[in-house]
Structure 1
């Protein structure tokens, strides 16, 4: 007999519902968010479960991996689409949501979410740490610049040399203007140095990982793509086989226009901005580098430059970011390096 299971997961507990192929409920329960307790309940009430479904959420990645290790056919589904299916109920409860998820498991009306490998998640942790350190440093510098303008002090631009020592030199010089600024200097200077040092250390770590990866080295042959972009791309996509066509990567990353078609109305809007925001931002940065800094001639650069002149920088950078993402997938899938002829494929 086939059993289908729905798990409504919260931080502390999990509501479980087991249904048969005809939709009849045969077991309900609530256990703590412990994979061992969840597995014990399912082995007792649904020993031959056909499918176990949970929504994507805070614990979904960890819980999916742990339940897979225990031999359960766990599937993580898109929470947004599941919500639309479950929102037709008049009353909402964890018990009702678990039953609704069990019926989705039975009917197959869901979209499965890809669970990235632990290796990819580790790289994403390092990249995320670097991005957070840079953001904290920028916030601190912006706050200091704003405060000093009140006293008529305008700080000049700062280079990256020596962990942005120029910023701290200007800050120390400004500390002589007012005692309050002096206190701020004593507090913020060591923090700024620590943030710059930590960000540089993360850069060194990520560059070392990129040097040890043949795939990252091949992706970096694309004009504008550096080690951070290459590693973020690998860690986010995780598996090139997920996409039947390289062009699907652009839509996956939210770099294609939205479309609305109904009757005689059919229009395309701005890009959807679905998918991973951080990778989309990094690809935009790579496209900016391509348009503004890359000097080596290629059809990709020629196309991006002409689009910049015709449509403006922002639209050209977004289009170039999508094209770079598609080319990188072609390189990954075909075990190749960048070839200018790939510009036509994208």
Structure 2
């Protein structure tokens, strides 16, 4: 008899429900959040589920890999889509959600989530750490600028040189004029230098990885694409064969417009903003760099400039970001480089 299991995962405990092919519940229970504990639960109940599903979440990657190592037929499904089905149930509880997931496993009405490789997750962790350090540095600089303005001190812009020494020099000068500011400067200068040093170390590490990656160097032949954007795209996509068509990556990154159609009403709205926010922001910055900073014209830049003249810069930048993502995936699949095709004019 075929059996299907649903796993509702929380940080400490996992609720389990098992149903047969007719949807009848044959086992319920809970266990600690550990793959081996799940296997022990099925062994005690003498159950061998044909399929078990759990929603995507903070522990889903670790749990999925652990179940796969133990030889269990587990699948991680899209939590956003599963929520639509689970929200139709009258009562909300962990046991109820586990039962709903088991029914989804039985009917097959779910979307499987791609789990990235460990190498891709490691790269995403490095990129995320770099992004967080830069945000912390900017927050600190903005706070200091705001505080000093109340004392009539307006800090001038600093160069993006090594360790941004100019910012710390201005803060030290302000501390010489006031004992309160001296206390602030003594604490913030050390923190700012530490953040800059750590961010610079990660930048060097990522640049070294980009130079060693043939794929990243190929993606960087596209004007506007640098090592950070290239590595982020590789880590985020992980496997180019996931997409049957290169154009599908635009929807995957949330760069395609939403559509609402009902009866005579049919319109397209703003972009869906699904997927990774950081990756979408990097592509927008790359598109901005292409339109405003890249001097050499190519068919891609000419198209983007003409679109900006017709639709405005923001809409053109979003459309260009989607086009660049599709182009990167195409170069990835075809193992080719960007072709400038001579000179182009706007």
TM range (shorter): over 0.9
- Within 2, Cα distance between the matches of 1:165 and 1:172? 11
**1:308, distance to aligned residue in structure 2 (A):** 2.0
- Within 1, Cα distance between the matches of 2:240 and 2:227? 18
Judge which range, 121-130 or 173-182, deviates more: 173-182
1:226 aligns with 2:226: yes
Match of 1:41 in 2: 41
Match of 1:313 in 2: 313
Query: Which string of whole-angstrom CA distances, capped at 9 and with x for unpartnered residues, describes residues 287-317 of structure 1?
Result: 1111121122210011112222222221111
What is the TM-score with the length of structure 1 in the denominator?
0.96
1:295 aligns with 2:295: yes
- Within 2, Cα distance between the matches of 1:31 and 1:162? 52
Match of 1:185 in 2: 185
**1:213, distance to aligned residue in structure 2 (A):** 1.1
**1:168, distance to aligned residue in structure 2 (A):** 0.9
Match of 1:344 in 2: none
Give the secondary structure class of the aligned counterpart of 1:49. coil
Match of 1:150 in 2: 150
- Within 2, Cα distance between the matches of 1:56 and 1:162? 41
**1:42, distance to aligned residue in structure 2 (A):** 2.4
Query: Which string of whole-angstrom CA distances, capped at 9 and with x for unpartnered residues, describes residues 3-32 of structure 1?
Result: 111001111111111111111111111110
Give the secondary structure class of the aligned counterpart of 1:251. helix
**1:120, distance to aligned residue in structure 2 (A):** 0.4
Q: Over aligned residues, Cα RMSD in angstroms?
A: 1.2
- Within 2, Cα distance between the matches of 1:291 and 1:43? 61
1:132-211 alignment, distance < 5 Å: 132-211=132-211
Give the secondary structure class of the aligned counterpart of 2:275. coil
Q: How many residues align?
A: 341
**1:257, distance to aligned residue in structure 2 (A):** 1.1
Give the secondary structure class of the aligned counterpart of 2:119. helix
**1:339, distance to aligned residue in structure 2 (A):** 2.2
- Within 2, Cα distance between the matches of 1:45 and 1:220? 55
What is the TM-score with the length of structure 2 in the denominator?
0.96
